[in-house]
Amino acid sequence: MNELEKVLVNIKTREKRFAYLIDHKLQRLYIQQPQQKSAVGNIYAGFVTKVIPGMNAVFVDIGEEKNCYLQKDKLASYSEDETALEDKKSRSISAYVKQGEKLLVQVVKDATGTKGPKLTGIIELQKESLVYMPQGRYIAVSKKIADPKKQKQLRAFGKKLTAKTEGLIFRTSAANAVEEKLAFEVDSLRQEYIRLSKEAAKTKKPALLLANDEFTKELFRIFEKMEGGEVFVDVSEEAKAWSTVFPHLNFHYHSNKNNLFSSFQVDKDIQDALKRIVWLEKGAYLIIDETEAATVIDVNTGKYEGRHNLEQTALETNRYAAVEAARQLKIRDLSGIILIDFIDMPKEHQKKIEEVMKVELQKDSRQTRVIGFTDLGILQITRKKTVIPLAEAVKTKCPVCDGTGSIMSAESVAFKLERELWEYQRSDHEVVEIQAGADVITIFAGENNVHLKRLEEAIGIQIQLQEETFAVPHYHIKYIGPKK
C-alpha cells in the first residue's frame, strides 16, 4: 500500500479515543466514554421474561435497564436441533424456549433509542487467529485469505478440531499461524466456554459473566488490516506491549504535553463529523440527518456549476458525494438503513455511482450492503451496527427542543400568551405582571403598544410587561390579582 497510514490512540484520560488516518485524512474515529461503554460481545446469564410466538422471538432480562430481544434462529436450542431446516422453521418458538428459562446469551447490538440490546444464544469467543462458536455448526475462513489452497487446508483442519455442534471462523492472521497454535486457541476457548456455562448454572438472577473490551477489539481490527504505518499512543506501556503483537507497525509513545489529537489537528475533524452539513471540494455539500429508523443523506450542488452540461455536472457532484458519504459512514459509525438522495441522473450514471460506493465501502470493516437505487433515485445501503454512533457517544438530547432541532417561534409564544389572557376576561383581577423575552414582547405589544392597549380594554385588566432574558422565546405570568 502506497498510502501513508497512521493511527492516533488517546487512552490516558477516562474518555478513550482513536483515529485512523490515510494520507493525513481521517477515515475512522472511535470514541468510548465510561458511561457509554459498548456491551457488544458481553456474555450474560439471562432469564426469559416473555415468549412472543407471533414474532418468533423472546424478551430476555440480563440485569440491565431494558429487556433484550432474541430471535428464534439465534437460540442455542434451535441451532442444536438436527431436524430438517424447513421443519425447524415451521415450529413455534415455544418448542425451543419457555418463559422463566435461564439462557447463556451474548450481546450483538447495543441498546439504541427505545430499543433494548439485541442478543444471540450462539456464543462467539475470540482469539488472535480464530473465533470459536460452541453451537456454530460450520467452519468459515476470512475472505481476506485469498489463496484457495490455504482456505481448503484451514477448513479441513477446522473439522478435525471441532465436535459436531461446534463451529470456527478463521481470521486473516490464521493464514500464517502454525497448527499447534490454532489447536491451542480452540482448546483454551472451549475451556472458557465450559467455565462460563458452569457460572451461569450457579446464578439465580441475571448476571454479567464476561465483559468484552470493544475499544481494544475495534483498535486491533485496524492494526490487523494495516500493511504498515505508524501508531502514536499516549501511554508508553501500551505502546511497548502492542509493538510485540503487531511487529509490522511502528509504535511511538507520544510524550508531548499537548493532547495527541490536537497535535495532529484531528479535533477539528471531530467537530466537522458532528455537523449536519458536510462541504465537498467543489462547493457542493451533503446534508446528513440521523433518525432512529434511518439515516438520510441529501446531495446538493451548492456553488458547484461544473465545466460541462447539467448532466455531467450532476455525475461529477454525485461521484464526489459518494466518496465522501462512504467516509462519513465510517467516521460517524452510522448504521442500519442509509438512504442517499443523489442529484437526479440517468440510469447509466446511477450504475457508475453505485460502483463507486461499492468500491469505497470495501474498505469498511463493518458488514455493509449496497442494495441499489429505487425508482425515485434514492440509493439504499444497510450497514451492520455493533457500536453506538459518534453523535450518540459525544452528544446529548437538547433539553430545550427535546431533540427535535426546533422550538416554538416568538410569534407562537406571543399568541399563546394572548389566548391565555383572554381567559381572564370578566374576572375580578385588576393587574397582571408578565416576564417575557424581548422578541415575545415586541410581537405581543405591537407597534406603539397597539395590540397591548386593545387587549387591556377588551379584558379589563392592566397588563405590565417586564423584559427578561430567556434561552428561547418564553413568558411567565409573575402576578395576577388586585393592584398592589
Structural domains in the chain (count): 5
Helix axes 450-459, 410-422, angle to 10 degrees: 20
Q: What is the CATH number for 110?
A: 2.40.50.140
Assigned domain for 463 exists: yes
- Res. 342 pLDDT band, cuts 50 70 90: very high
205: in domain: no
Tell me how far apart the alpha carbons of residues 119 and 74 are, in angstroms, rounded to a whole number: 8
CA atoms within 13 A on the CB side of 467: 6
Q: Write out pLDDT tens, residues 432-458.
A: 999 999 999 999 999 999 999 999 999
Whether residue 403 lies inside any domain: the answer is no
Is position 401 within any domain? Answer: no
Which whole number is the average pLDDT over 35-41? 79
Show the cell assigned to 354.
Answer: 453505485
CA–CA separation, 185 vs 193, rounded Å?
12
Same domain? For 302 and 369 the reply is: yes
Does 227 reside within a domain? yes
- Residues of the chain with pLDDT > 70, as a percent, come to 98
- What's the chain's average pLDDT? 89
Whether the predicted pLDDT of 477 surpasses 60: yes
Q: Residues 354-362: contacts with CB within 8 Å, 24+ apart?
A: 354/379, 356/319, 356/322, 356/323, 357/322, 357/325, 357/326, 357/381, 360/322, 360/323, 360/326, 360/327, 361/326, 361/329
Residue 327 sits in the same domain as residue 238: no
Domain end among 169, 196, 223: 196
User: Cα 189 to the chain's mean position, in Å?
Assistant: 29
pLDDT band at 106 (very low <50, low <70, confident <90, very high): very high
Residues 322 and 385 in one domain: yes
What letter would DSSP give residue 172? G
Do 95 and 173 belong together in one domain?
no
* pLDDT tens digits, 68-80: 999 999 999 998 8
**Domain enclosing residue 420, as ranges:** 410-481
CB half-sphere exposure, 87, CA atoms < 13 A? 4
Q: Residue range 173-192: average pLDDT? A: 91
Q: Which of 65, 60, 127 is nearest to 93 (CA)?
A: 60
Q: Which of 168, 196, 224 is the last residue of a domain?
A: 196
Assess contact for 298 and 313: CB atoms under 8 A: no
Q: Are residues 29 and 71 in the same domain?
A: no
- Tell how far CA 473 is from the center of its chain: 33
What is the CB-side half-sphere exposure of residue 286 using CA atoms within 13 A?
29
Show which of 369, 394, 419 is a domain's final residue: 394
d(C-alpha 237, C-alpha 243), whole Å: 10
Domain for residue 181, yes or no? yes
Same-domain status, 189 and 99: no
At residue 1 the predicted structure's pLDDT band, cuts being 50, 70 and 90, is: very low
Do 92 and 137 fall into the same domain?
no
Specify whether 462 is located in the same domain as 424: yes
What b/e string do you get for 168-189 counting C-beta neighbours within 10 Å, with b at 16 or more? bbbbebbbebeeebbeebbeeb
Whether 144 is in a domain gets the answer: yes
- The b/e string for 245-280 (b: 16+ C-beta within 10 A; e otherwise) is eeeebebeebeeeebbbeebebeebbeebeeeebeb
3-state secondary structure (DSSP) of residue 224: helix
366 and 338 both lie in a single domain:
yes
Domain of residue 434, CATH code: 3.40.1260.20
- pLDDT for res 304: 58
Residue 306 scores a pLDDT above 70: no
Most confident of 154-168, 289-303, 378-392: 154-168
Regarding whether 161 and 91 lie in a shared domain, the answer is no
- Same domain? 94 vs 163: no
What angle do the packed helices 148-161 and 179-202 form, to 10 degrees?
Answer: 40
195 Cβ partners below 8 Å, 6+ apart? Answer: none
* 102-109 vs 43-52, strand pairing mode: antiparallel
pLDDT surpassing 80 at residue 303: no
Domain annotation covers residue 400: no
Cell matching residue 110:
447495543
Q: Which residue has the cell 430481544?
A: 69
452-478 burial code (b ≥16 CB/10 A, e <16): beebeeebebebebeebebeebbbeee
With a threshold of 0.95, does the pTM exceed it?
A: no
CATH number, residue 221: 3.30.420.40
Return all residues near 172 (Cβ < 8 A) that are at least 6 apart: 142, 144, 145, 224, 225
